[in-house]
Structures are given as C-alpha cells and as structure tokens.
Amino acid sequence: MSQHIRPALRTHRGCYTEPRRLHPDDLARLLRPQPVKVHREKEWVPSIEYELIARHMHPDVREAYVAKSKAWFDAHPPPPARTPREPITVDQEALAALITKYGSAAPLAEYRKAGYSEEAVKRVRAKRQWYDDHSDELQAEIDRRWPGSATPKPKKVIKAVKKKMP
C-alpha cells in the first residue's frame, strides 16, 4: 500500500510567491556603506615548551627556533605577581543584621561598626551619590522601556451575582 504524500508549495525559490518588499528602514540598513575590516596579522608567540618542541625538529632549524624563542621571551618578560588581597575583616552577622534592619539605605556609620574600611565606605558613598545624581535618567529609561508601569491600573471589581433558585 503506497502512502499519499501531500505536495508542498515550493516557496523557497519564489515560484508561487511575489518578491518580498523591504521596509525603508531595512533597505537603508542593507545599503549603508560597510566599514572595511582590517585583518591584522597575529604576532608570533612561541610555546612555553619550546625546548621540548625543538628536540623533535630537524637539526638545521632547531638552533634558529630556540634562538628566536629565547629572544621573544627576553623581550616579553612575565608580568609581576599580584599582591594578595588583605583578608576580609567584616563581621558577617553584624552586616546581615544591618541589612535586615535598614535594607540598602543603612547609615555609613553602621558600615564602619560592621568592619568596613574607610576605602570601602567611600565606595558605598560614591555609589549612592551616583544613583542620587542619575535617578531621573534611570527612571526615564525605565518608563521608556516599560511604559505605563509607573501608574498602577485600577483593579476590576467583580460583582457577586446571586442566582435565583427555582
């Protein structure tokens, strides 16, 4: 028994459809001049195990490869080791109590009592000042992205309906 296969429209080549019309914005986006990409050649970087690699090379190129690798490593010394951070001295329980009591608007003196350094308190103060200075711009952006979210909509009142008993 053969199976009946429904024929599909061949629209991928445009046989039965007319050409798509482009919106003017899409047309302008497609026709704008594209910047030319600059293809930079990557700088040659030798492997850390260049001596191991050189052992397996032909003797004619081995010495040149080792010399070139040593010259590169001499020209590019490794970065200095980073100094470790000081251990955190903030009292975690006091900080948790501070957040539950005040939320994000805790007084800065309370942060000092919890063990924050003066540098960390300055960062908190600067962050609060930035939000105070930019609050209008932030609210405008929120209103632009989600219009009508600032004004609450009145809830629809559902009236109770009493059914008549026969």
Lookup result for tokens 């540098």: 119
Cβ(46)–Cβ(69) below 8 Å: yes
Q: Are 59 and 103 part of one and the same domain?
A: no
The pLDDT score that the predictor gives to residue 15 is: 54
Whether 107 is in a domain gets the answer yes
Same structural domain, 69 and 107? no
Question: pLDDT tens, position by position, for the chain (166 residues)?
Answer: 556 666 655 555 555 556 677 777 777 777 777 766 767 788 899 999 999 999 999 999 999 999 999 999 999 999 999 888 777 788 889 889 988 999 888 899 998 888 888 998 999 999 999 999 999 999 888 888 888 766 777 788 888 888 887 6
Question: Which pLDDT score is estimated for 62?
Answer: 95
Look up residue 41 and give its two tokens.
Answer: 């050649």
The reported pLDDT for the residue numbered 7 is 60
**Quick one: pLDDT at residue 49?**
94
Instruction: Based on the fold, state whether residues 130 and 100 are members of the same structural domain.
Output: yes
Number of domains composing the chain: 2
Q: Is residue 31 part of a domain?
A: no
Q: Which amino acid is at 126?
A: A
Print the domain residue range for 101. 92-145
Domain assignment present for 39: no
Is residue 158, in this structure, part of any structural domain at all? no
Same domain, 109 and 139: yes
Cα gap 48→12, rounded to integer Å:
52
11 within domain boundaries:
no
Model-level pTM?
A: 0.40
The answer as to whether 36 is a domain residue is: no
Handedness of CA 85, 87, 90, 96 (dihedral sign): positive
